[in-house]
Structure 1
Amino acid sequence: MGALKEMAAYDLGALVLNEVVKRAGVDPVQVDEVILGQSYQSGEYVNIARMSLLKAGWPDSIPGITLDRRCCTGLDVICFAAMMIQSGNADIIVAGGVESMSTTEFYIPGDIKWGIGGRKGMPRGHGDLSIWGIPFYDRIQRARVMSQPEERYGILPS
């Protein structure tokens, strides 16, 4: 996959965190919060912000928050950090994003032979409803429900 495929995401995050404070001339003790965005958290990488700051050797008194908004996570992390500073809840926040597509878990349901929805009509993964499937499936179902009056009665929904 790539030169960094064997490197854990939190190891890479730790390197970046230490380089950021070094370049900014800030002691990690002064950091009020670490906020990182990561879209594909897995069992090994939950709360990548906290794991990265601890791996970097920063004080364990610094909280770490991980946000996941898929396509807009990077912008949300910056906005979240700005709001904390504007509200007076923090002075120095390290905010950014991290992803490791080489280590992303991807589950394929056992009943895939029945199609994407499986036998029960709902995308499934790892024994439970898949995180990515629910909003997508919900939109499809809403579109079907909204189009039924048109198809059945030839009228537009109000």
Structure 2
Amino acid sequence: MNSSDPIVIAGMARTPMGGFQGELAPLAAPQLGAVAIAAALERAGVPAAEVGEVVMGCVLPAGQGQAPARQASFGAGVPESVGCTTINKMCGSGMKAAMFGHDLLAVGSAEIVVAGGMESMTNAPYL
């Protein structure tokens, strides 16, 4: 990519907002992330096999298992060979993931990046 190539958002998706202990309660954050990733790729017309990197924000990864971004990526059908990074920057996690995605594209480290955020407040540990 050179400086004259634009960086564009080709697709986006989100899950519905559910209530605490509501309809989405059985789904962990990586499962919700997988749904959003798969839908965004479908809307963009991009096969999962063409993704070069996945960067996902997650504020409360406790109890989500190892590498929530990788779990979401696998759930969306992205190949195991694709690098995945989970960002925890509190309320700015999803935005920071998008910023990192931009930077990966700008320096030519990837041509197609999935970036976003995922959370399940119902499944967050409460003491």
TM-score (norm 1): 0.63
Correspondent of 1:23 among 37, 43, 53: 43
Offset of residue 106 of structure 1? 2.9
Correspondent of 1:80 among 94, 100, 108: 100
Runs (4+) off by over 4 Å: none
SS at match of 1:95: strand
Separation (CA, whole Å) in 2 of partners of 1:93 and 1:14: 14
1:62 aligns with 2:78: no
Separation (CA, whole Å) in 1 of partners of 2:25 and 2:114: 25
Given that residues 33 and 90 in structure 1 are in contact (C-alpha distance below 8 angstroms), is that contact kept between their aligned partners in structure 2?
yes
Structure-1 residue corresponding to 2:54 = 34
2:105 maps to a residue whose letter is I
Q: Deviations over 1:25-61 (max 9, x none)?
A: 0011110011100000013333211001112222111
More helix by share: 1
Give the aligned CA root-mean-square deviation in angstroms: 1.3
Q: Which runs of 5+ in 1 are unaligned?
A: 108-158
Q: Which runs of 5+ in 2 are unaligned?
A: 1-20
Structure-2 residue corresponding to 1:53 = 73
Structure showing greater Rg? 1
TM-score (norm 2): 0.78
Given that residues 10 and 45 in structure 1 are in contact (C-alpha distance below 8 angstroms), is that contact kept between their aligned partners in structure 2?
no
Given that residues 9 and 45 in structure 1 are in contact (C-alpha distance below 8 angstroms), is that contact kept between their aligned partners in structure 2?
no
Q: Deviations over 1:69-120 (max 9, x none)?
A: 102112211111111111111111010000000000134xxxxxxxxxxxxx
